[in-house]
């Protein structure tokens, strides 16, 4: 592990969080907590409608800052809260954003403090992030669609909405993203877009090779490193597809996920996609062998018969197959070793014919939140010291982006 904890993702960021009228205001309370935990200072601004759903006292307690609710607030010496608040902010986040407030933004109306500061902000210096929250029919209404298109054209970034149960009892689009999802979206917004316009394919997790309906060959890979790489690539602006073995991890925001079970399923999912991708990161711990024939029923233990013979056959080599394609992406392989990491990683680099292998000690990192990586290429090695997996993933993505620029 690192000698000191990493800085929070939103350290030194000052955010204005605007709440408009809607039942999703309850999520804004948890969002405030999550943003503060991520290192941000949060200045809450509430419309009159928002005060019908949650109190200013609650938001003040969670943000540890006085809440602003009126353009006539007398606290600022210059009586210009809408100017002061927007000039201090690194971004304005409106969550929840009602259909009415989105209409205000589209029309440039400024009849309350929140809409005033949105119009008064310096567009090039203070971005506007909008998290819609409304009934599915309101979200689908042609007027709302026009208004959303207009504010996006004016430079706003839309966060969501999600699909799911709504307070009215209906189900559909328009539900506000959850607090953790919004936190991650805000973090991603501020990450450098080093892979903008690029497409990335990532494999993650173990594979499972069935012996019979209840037993199989697998390994201890949790998929955490691969999922972190997928998230970091998406944060960097890439279009990301993640092919995941059997793991219990949430899909990173903005990532397209394909679930597979066996090495052959992973191979069949990867091969059609790889030629059209710019980067392929083979993080998955793919089983080298599988049983020749999986039993259709559970193999029963019988007294005196001993262990059954298990004939194995080699699985397809996904990384080597992609690396041999006529139009291959930039290939990055992983080598999870138990010893002599550098030697085994270099052998794998030559055997697979890829430009970069990332080595690590598998038993020390499987299932853990931290890792240490060794980058091995034809020119030498470079260590990425122990850190949390997302931090390492961002460093690896930056390394890949640099190599892509050097070899377009």
Q: Please, which residues bridge with residue 373 across strands?
A: 384
Gap between the Cα atoms of 365 and 210, Å rounded: 25
What is the predicted pLDDT for the residue at 56? 94
Note down the domain range covering 273. 199-296+306-406
- Tokens 């119009």 identify what position? 119
Q: Count of domains in the chain?
A: 2
1 falls within a domain = no
Q: In 193-292, which ranges are continuous DSSP H helix?
A: 224-235, 263-270
What is the predicted pLDDT for the residue at 5? 53
More confident: 73 or 378: 378
Tokens of 243: 């092919």
More confident: 75 or 253: 253
What is the β-pairing status of strands 41-46 and 91-97?
A: unpaired
- Say which range, 68-72, 122-126, 191-195, 224-228, has the weakest mean pLDDT: 68-72
Compute CA distances 59 → 97, 187, 362, whole Å. 17, 21, 44
Q: Which whole number is the average pLDDT over 224-231?
A: 96
6 falls within a domain = no
Compute CA distances 331 → 229, 272, 334, 336, whole Å. 14, 15, 10, 16
Contact at 8 Å (CB) between 31 and 5? no
Last residue of a domain, one of 140, 173, 190: 190
Q: In 132-203, which ranges are continuous DSSP H helix?
A: 136-140, 142-153, 179-190
Q: Are residues 329 and 268 in the same domain?
A: yes
Q: Are residues 237 and 184 in the same domain?
A: no
pTM attached to this predicted model: 0.87
Q: Are residues 110 and 248 in the same domain?
A: no
What is the β-pairing status of strands 215-217 and 209-212?
A: antiparallel
Round the average pLDDT of the chain to a whole number and report it: 90
Q: How far is CA 35 from the centre of its chain?
A: 16
Q: Are residues 204 and 56 in the same domain?
A: no
List the one residue out of 209, 221, 219 whose CA is nearest residue 310.
209
Among residues 118, 126, 168, 405, the one annotated as catalytic is: 168
Gap between the Cα atoms of 358 and 226, Å rounded: 12
Q: Are residues 168 and 138 in the same domain?
A: yes
Active site includes 25? no
Last residue of a domain, one of 170, 190, 210: 190
Contact at 8 Å (CB) between 322 and 331? yes
106 falls within a domain = yes
Q: Which whole number is the average pLDDT over 162-185?
A: 89
Q: Are residues 156 and 58 in the same domain?
A: yes
- Say which range, 18-27, 65-74, 119-128, 181-190, has the weakest mean pLDDT: 65-74
Q: Which whole number is the average pLDDT over 42-57?
A: 95
Q: Are residues 89 and 119 in the same domain?
A: yes
Which domain CATH number covers 103?
3.40.50.1950
Last residue of a domain, one of 152, 168, 190: 190
Residues contacting residue 166 through CB under 8 Å, at least 6 positions apart? 135, 136, 172, 174, 175
The listed range with the strongest mean pLDDT (241-245, 313-317, 368-372) is: 241-245
Q: Which whole number is the average pLDDT over 339-363?
A: 84
């Amino acid at each position: 592990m690192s000698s000191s904890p990493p800085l929070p993702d939103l350290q030194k960021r000052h955010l204005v969080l605007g709440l408009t009228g809607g039942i999703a205001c309850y999520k804004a309370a948890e969002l405030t907590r999550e943003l503060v935990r991520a290192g941000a200072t949060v200045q809450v601004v509430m419309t009159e409608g928002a005060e019908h759903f949650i109190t200013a006292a609650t938001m003040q307690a969670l943000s540890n800052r006085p809440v602003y609710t009126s353009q006539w607030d007398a606290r600022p010496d210059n009586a210009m809260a809408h100017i002061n608040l927007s000039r201090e902010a690194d971004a304005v986040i409106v969550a929840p954003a009602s259909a009415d407030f989105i209409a205000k933004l589209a029309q440039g109306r400024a009849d309350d403090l929140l809409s005033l500061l949105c119009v008064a902000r310096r567009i090039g210096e203070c971005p506007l992030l909008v998290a819609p929250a409304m009934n599915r029919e309101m979200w689908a209404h042609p007027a709302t669609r026009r208004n959303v298109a207009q504010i996006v054209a004016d430079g706003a970034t839309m966060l969501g909405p999600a699909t799911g149960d709504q307070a009215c009892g209906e189900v559909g689009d328009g539900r506000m993203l959850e607090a953790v999802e919004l936190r991650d979206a805000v973090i991603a917004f501020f990450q450098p877009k080093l892979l903008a316009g690029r497409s990335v394919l990532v494999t993650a997790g173990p594979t499972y090779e069935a012996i019979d309906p209840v037993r199989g060959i697998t390994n201890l890979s949790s998929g955490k490193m691969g999922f972190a790489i997928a998230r970091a690539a998406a944060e960097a602006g890439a279009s990301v597809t993640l092919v995941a073995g059997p793991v219990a991890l949430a899909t990173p925001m903005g990532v397209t996920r394909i679930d597979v079970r066996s090495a052959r399923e992973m191979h069949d999912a990867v091969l059609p996609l790889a030629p059209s991708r710019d980067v392929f990161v083979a993080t998955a711990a793919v089983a080298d062998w599988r049983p020749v024939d999986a039993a259709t029923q559970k193999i029963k233990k019988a007294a005196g018969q001993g262990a059954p013979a298990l004939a194995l056959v080699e699985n397809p080599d996904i990384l080597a197959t992609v690396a041999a394609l006529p139009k291959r992406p930039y290939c990055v392989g992983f080598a999870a070793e138990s010893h002599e990491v550098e030697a085994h990683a270099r052998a794998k680099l030559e055997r697979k014919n890829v430009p970069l292998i990332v080595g690590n000690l598998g038993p020390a990192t499987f299932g853990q939140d931290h890792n240490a990586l060794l980058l091995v290429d034809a020119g030498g090695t470079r260590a990425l010291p122990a850190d949390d997996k997302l931090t390492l993933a961002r460093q690896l993505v930056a390394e890949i982006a640099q190599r892509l620029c050097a070899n377009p």
